[in-house]
Structure 1
Amino acid sequence: MTDISAEVAAVWCELLRSNTIDADDNFFALGGDSMDAVVLIQHLVDNFGVELSVADVFRDARFSAVVSLVQQRVRLAAVN
């Protein structure tokens, strides 16, 4: 597990009151709501310094998709 996926997993576990997260788990199917998504995005923006929006989570709320998006944004920020 990468540092990014570990950080995203930790936030998901806290917000969703879960002990484990699988790659195909959906944030909303596990009980997350739009306010939780706002908290999630703010945490990721603050920790990784990347641009993300709640719409990104609504577009694909699977754990693997959110991790992939954050990884892409981190790589893009490093290039710029």
Structure 2
Amino acid sequence: MGLVQEIAELWGEYLNGGEVGAEDDFFALGGNSLIGIKIIDRVSQDYGVELSVRAFYLAQTPARVAGLVEQGRALT
């Protein structure tokens, strides 16, 4: 399973329990600040990458968040 799919599944756990696509928009799926912070915390635990709330919100899709995780991994 690729990183984008893993991130999409993580979002599904917190957002609607259903399928989330790579390009699905966080806010269109019903995302809010509390859910965003929970996902950011999980990304930190699971991947060892600290995302800022601002970066997460600007990314808006699992594909772009996966890109941020990959960038964060490259810096460590």
Please, what TM-score do these two structures have when normalized by structure 1?
0.82
Deviations 1:17-57 (A, max 9, x none): 14212121011110010000000000001111112111111
Percent of aligned positions that are identical: 36
Amino acid at match of 1:14: E
| Long gaps (5+) in structure 1 | none
State how far apart, in whole Å, the 1-side matches of 2:17 and 2:28 are.
12
| Long gaps (5+) in structure 2 | none
1:51 matched residue in structure 2: 50
State how far apart, in whole Å, the 1-side matches of 2:61 and 2:8 are.
11
User: Runs of 4+ in structure 1 displaced over 3 angstroms?
Assistant: none
Counterpart of 2:22 in 1: which secondary structure?
Answer: coil
Amino acid at match of 2:18: N
2:11 matched residue in structure 1: 12
* Pairwise CA RMSD: 1.4
Amino acid at match of 2:51: L
Q: Residues 12-51 of structure 1: matches in 2 within 5 Å?
A: 12-51=11-50
